[in-house]
Amino acid sequence: MPLSFDEHERIPVVVQDVDTHQVLMLGWMNHQSLDHTFTTGHVTFWSRSRDELWEKGATSGNFLNFVSMHKNCEDNSLLVQARPEGPTCHTNNVSCYYREIEREQDLP
């Protein structure tokens, strides 16, 4: 089955460190960023805020080196496995998922 993109021709992508299996980040891809990822070997997203390609690491040097891509059972999200060069999060953390939620504090 072909991938199921949203109304803006984007699909959500979870990025996982292929060696540690840690979830690193969530981003969005479109046809152009998918092609760029496979062509360059660097995980590339579509920036929803800037409406342009976003090659992770192009400005920081913290590239995500593409290893493999898998689609879910409903063809509407992707799992990308990568080898990071440095921290993935813009806060300089290894993962964007570094803050644990405490129900009493963080949830309505």
The 10 Å CB-count burial string (b at 16+, else e) for 60-86 is eebbbebeebeeeeeeebbebbbebee
In the chain, the number of structural domains is: 1
Flag whether 92 is in a domain: yes
Return the DSSP state at 92.
S
Asked if residue 5 belongs to a domain, the reply is: no
Which domain CATH number covers 88?
Answer: 3.10.20.810
Is residue 77 very low, low, confident or very high in pLDDT (cuts 50, 70, 90)? very high
Range of the domain at 17: 11-97
Token pair of 33 as six digits: 């960023």
Asked, for residue 6, whether it belongs to a domain, the answer is no
The mean of the pLDDT values for the chain is 95
Collapse the DSSP code of 106 into the 3-class scheme (helix H, G, I; strand E, B; otherwise coil) and give the result.
helix
Residue 104 domain-assigned (yes or no): no
- 105 pLDDT above the threshold of 90: no
Whether 28 is covered by a domain: the verdict is yes
Q: What is the pTM of this model?
A: 0.91
**Is 44 inside a domain boundary?**
yes
